[in-house]
Every structure is written in structure tokens, then in C-alpha cells.
Amino acid sequence: MRESRPVGLDYLAAVTELAQAARLAHPTAGIWEAADLQWWWRADQHEDDRRQLFFLEADRPVAAVVLDAHPGRPMQCDLLQVDHGDRGLTARLFERATEMLEAFSDQAVVLFVGGDDPLLASLAAEAGFSDSEADVTAWLRAGDERPGPDLPAGFRLVTRAERAGVHHLAKRNGAAIAERLAQCSLYRPELDLFIESEEGETAAYGLFWADPVTKVGLVEPVRTEEAYRGRGLAGHLVGRGLELLVQAGCRRCKISYDPANEPAARAYLARGFVPTTTSRILLRPAG
């Protein structure tokens, strides 16, 4: 396999192609969708070649090590591969990941490990990673989605396609968020939803990604602002978003959440999502 280190928009195209190929190769294996990697693009455009290494066959990406920088959080290390059954490749990817991480020894690093990947868990433990948190993945088949509760009086559901100006995600994601999302091939403004209060404040939001290649719809992120919680806003938002994903041609929808967040879990399961796997989030401390 030939190695490559694309940067910027070339990186975005390569990681999207790889993640889509991996999902087409297996309906549930692995942790991430192409849309996950595109969502991370908002914060990290991989402008240098130190934090991504792709392996190519016939000029197509078949595996990669990706280190993503998330402001205010540990660096994230991910191993991506089309053939999830190739354990030899997994070991090779992790070896290259540890080499790449040597340049970032002063930073904490997290690694997501699927519950069905004992090899990666073992390699990570030997490299100094230990359990930190967990992450649940839930799936929903098109046709199994359930509508959410009615929107309370005084609130309205809006899409980014209907509202120009400052993006409602700018508060937490920076002024360039609209520009970054526009660079992502899977982003659609009509699937970028938010709920507005009577006073014009953003009370809740959800971003829904329809992948026309894999036919998977990803729900990421979802948030209800603290002052507006407990009113069913997330349930309404997710219910409407799922309807739109199915209308966009998605055959299955996916969401991930912290199992400790019981209100979120209840809202998602009430919409028809079924938990399927739990991933371990392993942490290697800085230094």
C-alpha cells in the first residue's frame, strides 16, 4: 500500500471517501460515519501533514490514522479501515499512530475502541491508555421513526436554509462555522435545524446529515440550552429531523450519546432508536 498525507480540502475528500467505503463494506462495523469526520472539519482543517496518514490501494484510500484537534478537549486518535476484519492492518495502523503521537507527547489523547475490538483495546493498554468514558451507538431503520412531542407554544422550528446571517452554531463553534460547513459535501442547510424562542433565542438545535452514498443519516450534534430543558424540544427536533432524513433517501439513521445523559437517551429511544454497541473511550494522559 502506498502512503499519502493529504492536507486541507484534499484531506476532507480523502477521509470522506474512506469512511464511506468502510460503511459500504459493512453495515455496522467501525464507529464513525463520513459525516462525523466532516463535522469535525469545523474545528480542524488539517492544514499540515503531521496528523493524518492514509494508506492507498490503486489510488483509493483503504485505511488511515487521523489525529483530530478539538479545542478544549484532548486530541482524538482514530484508526479507519475499509476491511474491519484485517487485524494485521489494525496492528499496523496502531503502530503508526504511536509513532505520530510521539510529536504530541505533551497532549492528552483519547481513543475510541469498539466493544468488538479486543485487539485494539489490548494494544492501547500497552501504550498507556486506560478507560475514561463510554459512548453508545444506536440505529434506526427507515420506517421505524416515531414523531416527537408537539412544539410548545411560543417556539418555532427553523432551518438554516430559511435563516441567513450569523449561524446559530457560532456561539460554540466560532464565526467561521457557516463557511466550514459549506465546504462539507454532506452538509445541507435544510437539514440544519434549530428551535427559536419567542424572544428570538436559540433554545435547541440539531444537525442532520444525509449521506447519499451510504444511505445513512447521522444525527450530530443535538443540544438543548439549559434554560429550555425539560420541555420536549429535543424530542420534537429529532423527530422532525428523522422525517427529513428518510425523505432525503436515508435507509438507516444513527446517533451516539453518553449513556450517563439519561434525558438524551430517553429522547432518542422514544424516537425509535435501538442501542446496538457501546464503545470505550480510552485516555492517554499528557506527558
Q: Express each pLDDT in 134-163 by its tens digit.
A: 999 999 999 999 999 999 999 999 999 999
Q: Rounded to an integer, what distance in angstroms lies between the CA atom of residue 63 and that of residue 81?
A: 4
Q: Rounded to an integer, what distance in angstroms lies between the CA atom of residue 71 and that of residue 74?
A: 8
Strand order in the sheet with 52-57: 2-4, 52-57, 60-68, 75-81, 109-113, 274-284, 130-141, 252-257, 216-224, 202-210, 192-196, 156-159
Look at residue 108 and give its three-state secondary structure: coil
Q: What is the pLDDT of residue 215?
A: 98
Look at residue 243 and give its three-state secondary structure: helix
Q: Backbone phi, then psi, for 52, in 5-degree steps?
A: -150, 135
Cα dihedral across residues 160, 22, 53, 108: positive or negative: positive
Q: Could you report the per-residue pLDDT of 182-211, keeping only the tens digit for each?
A: 999 999 999 999 999 999 999 999 999 999
Query: Domains in the chain, please, with CATH?
Result: 2-135+279-284 (3.40.630.30), 140-278 (3.40.630.30)
Say which residues have a Cβ less than 8 Å from residue 27's Cβ, sequence separation at least 6: 252
Averaged confidence pLDDT in the chain? 97
Q: Is there a contact between 111 and 126 (Cβ–Cβ < 8 Å)?
A: no
